[in-house]
Amino acid sequence: MTNALKRWGGPASLGAAVLWLLIWVHQRSAHGTTQVNEMRLLIGLTWMDSAKFLVLALLLVLVGLASLYWRRERPGGLGPTGGMLTFISLGFLIIAAALEFWTFPWGSYEVTFEEATGLVGSDASAMIQLFASLVFTVGLSVFSVDLVRARVIQIWVAPVLILGGLTTAFLTPVSWAPGQPCQACRRQTMELRIDFYSKNEVAIQIESSGKYPFAENELSELFLFGCYAIRQLSNLGTHDVAKVLAALMLSCTRDTAAELAAGTYEFPGPAEMRVLGFDSLRLRMPYNIIQDQLFDAVPCIVGFRGGGKKSFVLVLPPSKLSTKGFGILGFQVNYFAFHSVISLLSYLAKKHTHEKLYLDHLAAVAQQCARAYLSGAISLGNEVTLANAILKEIGVG
C-alpha cells in the first residue's frame, strides 16, 4: 500500500491539477465571468455539474499528499500534527463539495444553486467548506515545514502548497479558482432572467440571494416587476412601443392578470384600442401595423432550457440590465422589450393565480408604472426609487 502511494502520488497530483483547470475553464464558460449567472450549457453540463468533479479532484489531492507523507524518511514532530490537520480538513472539504453539488440534476438549471434548500447550496455547507479550507491551509503550512526539513520537497514548493490550500476557501466560477461562490461573503442580490427561444416561447427565472429587498418573496417580486417595467419604459423612451406598453399596463386589472395566467389573454383590436385611449397617445404607427407587428402573439411561458436566442438580465442592486442576441444595432430589441414586460406580468400572475390580493397588487403596480411613464416621472436610473415609491403608494411597501 505504501509503495503504491509513493508510485501514484505524482500522477494523482498532476491529474488533480489538470482536472482543476478543466473545471475552471468550464465554469467560466457556463456561469460567466461576472456575478450574473448566465446559465449556459457547455457539452451538456451546467456549471454545477462541473463542480461535482471537484470531489474527484480533491480525492486526487488526498492521494498526492498521502504520498508525500509516506516519503518522509526522517519524520519529525510536526509531521503527524500537520498531517492530521491536513487530512481531516481535506475530508471535510470533500464532504462539503459533495453536499453542495451532487444532488443537483445533471444538465439542468431547473433548480438553481440559489434556490436549493437544506445543506445543498446553502450557508451551512458553505460554512463547512470555508472552515475546512482554513484548517486545511493551516495544516498544509505545518505539514510543508516538516516536508522541507525531511527533504521531501524543495523549499519553494512549500508556499505553492500553502497557496493551493487557500484556493479552496473561495471556490468561485467568476474568479481564478473553480467552484461555488462563498455564501457567507455574497451580497444580497436579486436577478431576473428572461430568455426568448422564439417569438412564441419565453423562459423566466428569478433568483434571490438573501432577502433582498424585502423579507416577503411576494413583495420582492412586485418590486422586481416595477423596476423592470420602469427600466424598459425608460429605455424605449418616446417610441410608439413604449406608449402602447404604457397604455396596456394602464388598463391592467385583476381580470387581465388572470387571463394572462390562464393563457387566454388577447391583445386589443383597433376598436378596443380606441376605447382604451390609444388615440390620445399620438402614435405614428397605424393600428393595423401595431396589430401585425407587435400584437402578433402572446409568448407562452416554458421551462428554462439554457440561454435563449434573445435575453434580458436585470440584476439588483444597484440596477444593471444586460441584453444578448440583438447585435450592435439592437435589431428587434423594442419588440422583445415590450413582450418581456408582458411575459413577466404573465409569469407572476400564473405563479400566484389563486391569490386575488396579489393579482390586485400586481395590476396596481402595472398601472402606477404606466402613469409614471405617461406623466414623465420616469428618468434614466430612477427605477429603484420609483418602484419603492409605487409600492408605498399602493399600500404594500
**Do 180 and 211 lie in a common domain?**
no
Out of 198-212, 331-345, 353-367, pick the least confident: 198-212
**Do 207 and 352 lie in a common domain?**
yes
Which domain-ending residue is among 185, 207, 229? 185
**Do 319 and 346 lie in a common domain?**
yes
Q: Which residues pair with 42 in a beta bridge?
A: 45
Q: What is the pLDDT of residue 19?
A: 85
Which domain-ending residue is among 185, 205, 229? 185
**Do 162 and 199 lie in a common domain?**
no
Where does the pLDDT of residue 311 fall: very low under 50, low under 70, confident under 90, or very high at 90 and above?
Answer: very high
Where does the pLDDT of residue 367 fall: very low under 50, low under 70, confident under 90, or very high at 90 and above?
Answer: very high
Helix (H) or strand (E) holding 236: helix 217-236
Where does the pLDDT of residue 174 fall: very low under 50, low under 70, confident under 90, or very high at 90 and above?
Answer: very low
The answer to whether 230 touches 352, Cβ cutoff 8 Å, is no
> How many whole angstroms separate alpha carbon 254 and alpha carbon 391?
17
**Do 71 and 147 lie in a common domain?**
yes
**Do 166 and 193 lie in a common domain?**
no
- Report helix angle 123-149 to 54-70, nearest 10: 20
Q: What is the mean pLDDT of residues 17-35?
A: 78
Q: What percent of the chain has pLDDT over 70?
A: 75
Helix (H) or strand (E) holding 257: helix 254-262
The answer to whether 240 touches 323, Cβ cutoff 8 Å, is no
**Count of domains for the chain:** 2
**Do 195 and 212 lie in a common domain?**
yes
Task: Supply angle C-alpha 120, 124, 129, rounded to 5.
Answer: 90
The answer to whether 58 touches 66, Cβ cutoff 8 Å, is no
The answer to whether 173 touches 179, Cβ cutoff 8 Å, is yes
Range of the domain at 178: 2-185
Which domain-ending residue is among 185, 220, 242? 185
**Do 110 and 245 lie in a common domain?**
no
DSSP structural state of residue 105: P
Q: What is the pLDDT of residue 73?
A: 60
Residue 213 CA: distances (Å) to CA of 18, 105, 218, 365: 41, 29, 11, 16
**Do 302 and 367 lie in a common domain?**
yes
**Do 45 and 174 lie in a common domain?**
yes
Residue 41: partners with Cβ closer than 8 Å, 6 or more residues away? 30, 107, 306
**Do 298 and 160 lie in a common domain?**
no
**Do 226 and 364 lie in a common domain?**
yes
